[in-house]
Structure 1
Amino acid sequence: MGLSSWDSRGFENTKWHHLDCFFPVDADLVSAESIKGFADLKR
């Protein structure tokens, strides 16, 4: 899973994370499809 942000110079940065690292262990995550907005992502 990636998080995009803009730095002070105007460049977009994406920080990539393993799904297990992105969400806490105790999160109620059943699948990627259960993430709000997942269906709106383009392949």
Structure 2
Amino acid sequence: MRKPILFTIIAAILVVITVVITLSVVLTRKSDTKDVVTDNTTTTIP
């Protein structure tokens, strides 16, 4: 049983998540560069 609809939905969700993560990282880097370094060292969650 192949479900292409579910595959496309999962792919779209992954794309949205990656875009949100990249936008958040870019915004944090533009706003404060020192805070990004401290956040990267303190947060060990992958």
TM-score tier by shorter-chain length is under 0.3
Larger fraction in strand? 1
Q: Which structure would you say has the larger RCO, counting Cα contacts within 8 Å and 6 or more residues apart? A: 1
Larger fraction in helix? 2
TM-score (normalizing by structure 2): 0.25
TM-score (normalizing by structure 1): 0.25
